[in-house]
Amino acid sequence: MARRIIIIGANAAGVEAASAARKKDRTAEITLITQEKTAGYSRCGLPFVIGGQIPSFHDLIVYSPAYFQMLKLNLRNETKATAINTKEKAVTVVDKAGATEVLPYDSLVIATGADSFMPPIKGREKPGILSLRGIEDGEKIDAAVKAGAKSAVIMGAGLIGLEAGVALIERGLTVTVVEMLPQILPQLLDADMAKLVQEHLEEKGMRILISKGVEEFLGEDKVTAIMAGGEKIEADLFISAFGVRANTKLAVDAGIPLGETRAIKTNARMETDVKDVYAVGDCAEAPNIITHRPTCAQLGTIAVRQGKVAGINAGGDYAQFTGILTSAVTRLFEIEAGSTGISETSAARNRIEVVTGTISSKTKADYYPTAKPIKVKLIVEKESQRIIGAQIVGGEEVTQRINAISFAIQKQMTVRELAKADTAYAPPLCETWEPMVLAAEMVLMKLR
């Protein structure tokens, strides 16, 4: 009898799991269940459709219906999984017509993702608060802009909030970003590096209010203003970017344990505490490579890696997930920002004594006309002298430097080894002294 694999969720993690399972088992019956109309699209691209860099939301579809047909994957759109019975090994689903069906499985992959989070703010039940989590959310924001919205308030200064803010400014709106914490991009950067990004955004016309929480949503029939830090801010468009929370209801109802992060607990095979049930992506936790503590980083790159591991195991083979470094990058107007490993703030929280080195340099030879500024911050564990984190802010060439340091961390490179790196040079491409090497030398000076 063919192996029956059910995957709940059909975006980054879910589709990757299905693809990996199919490669390992050519005869398996693989079913993907998703509540959304569209499967296999990139959530990360949503702000760039709103900003106009990508022509349409349809362009974000990475896996067309033909892909699912080619791999013989049974895709069930607009279908909701309502219950998991781990004893009977079955999933109850309801389709868009309201018909209920019970689907048996041999292996189950939970890729239910995360939902937009709304804090308990007075007036939050009023209509007019939008989020940016899926294609339909993006279409609502785009429609509001086309309908004549002139101003927007974005609540939250994380990656999605700022990318959405940039997109709306590019569409001609006046944008105010409200952030409760004392800095922007708190998950990506330390305060000293975040300040550089904030200054750039403010130069481009974005109003940013830090250390100001949203106290109330104001308006009669719908939200027309917010109170934040005692100030009334009116706008035509209100976008909630407070963050997301792992969607774990199905797992909890089925008795599948959660972990420290309140996401689904998994082992190295991405298997939950229930045999033959796996969890991947934004709803699952896995260990951080440096702290070894459970982490739920909610990034697309992590989702696909976890999906691949779970799919291989669900398909009858064996694979392990190596852990999370939380490598991430973004581009906001003309500045790029990225990080990998843990921040100085996170190191302090985990009681890791560190030494940091920060250097300001150029992306090309200083005399080359198109050279742009770049700042590199290295975070090194004092005792072992191993590199455990990096943050880079600059006009270009951030991604590949972040990737290079990610490799260095995974190979447990010391700061002394990085300082001796043999790097390339050409005036139109880079400085004689690679900025990462200079940052390493700054750390060594402090260590001496």
According to DSSP, the residues that pair with 109 across neighbouring strands are 7, 278
- Give residue 432's domain range: 334-447
Query: DSSP label at 41?
Result: B
Same domain, yes or no: 148 and 98? no
> What's the angle, vertex CA 32, arms to CA 26 and CA 33, rounded to 5?
165
Same domain, yes or no: 214 and 278? no
Which pair of tokens denotes residue 396?
């270009």
CA torsion angle 416 420 423 428 (round to 10): 80
Known catalytic membership, residue 296: no
Task: Please check whether residue 360 lies inside any domain of the structure.
Answer: yes
Percent of the chain clearing pLDDT 90 (strictly above): 99
User: Which pLDDT value is given to residue 448?
Assistant: 87
Same domain, yes or no: 75 and 125? no
Which pair of tokens denotes residue 143?
């429609």
pLDDT tens track for 362-383: 999 999 999 999 999 999 999 9
Catalytic residue (one of 44, 283, 296, 430): 44
Q: What is the average per-residue pLDDT within 408-423?
A: 97
Rg (CA), the chain: 23
Domain finish residue from 242, 264, 293: 242
Distances (CA, A) of 388 to 5, 61, 287, 321, 408: 38, 35, 15, 19, 9
1 pLDDT band, cuts 50/70/90, is confident
Task: Please check whether residue 328 lies inside any domain of the structure.
Answer: no
pLDDT tens track for 322-336: 999 999 999 999 999
**What total number of domains does the chain contain?**
3
User: Which pLDDT value is given to residue 203?
Assistant: 98
According to DSSP, the residues that pair with 429 across neighbouring strands are none
396 pLDDT band, cuts 50/70/90, is very high
Give DSSP secondary structure letters for 208-239: EE-S--EEEEE-SSS--EEEETTEEEE-SEEE
Query: DSSP label at 257?
Result: P
- pLDDT above 90: residue 86: yes
DSSP-derived 3-state class of residue 241: coil
Task: Please check whether residue 228 lies inside any domain of the structure.
Answer: yes
Same domain, yes or no: 289 and 369? no
Same domain, yes or no: 355 and 440? yes
- pLDDT above 90: residue 406: yes
User: Which pLDDT value is given to residue 441?
Assistant: 97
Same domain, yes or no: 198 and 252? no
Q: What is d(CA 203, CA 243) in angstroms, rounded to the nearest whole number?
A: 25
Domain finish residue from 242, 262, 286: 242
Same domain, yes or no: 212 and 142? yes
Task: Please check whether residue 224 lies inside any domain of the structure.
Answer: yes
Same domain, yes or no: 27 and 92? yes
Domain finish residue from 196, 213, 242: 242
- pLDDT above 90: residue 353: yes
Task: Please check whether residue 324 lies inside any domain of the structure.
Answer: no
User: Which pLDDT value is given to residue 363?
Assistant: 96
Task: Please check whether residue 60 lies inside any domain of the structure.
Answer: yes
Q: Rounded mean pLDDT of the chain? A: 97
CATH of the domain at 197: 3.50.50.60
User: Which pLDDT value is given to residue 76?
Assistant: 97
Same domain, yes or no: 376 and 397? yes
Residue 436: other Cβ atoms inside 10 A: 25
User: Which pLDDT value is given to residue 163?
Assistant: 98
Q: What is the average per-residue pLDDT within 274-294?
A: 97
According to DSSP, the residues that pair with 328 across neighbouring strands are 339
Same domain, yes or no: 414 and 300? no
Same domain, yes or no: 195 and 224? yes
pTM passes above 0.75: yes
Same domain, yes or no: 103 and 143? no
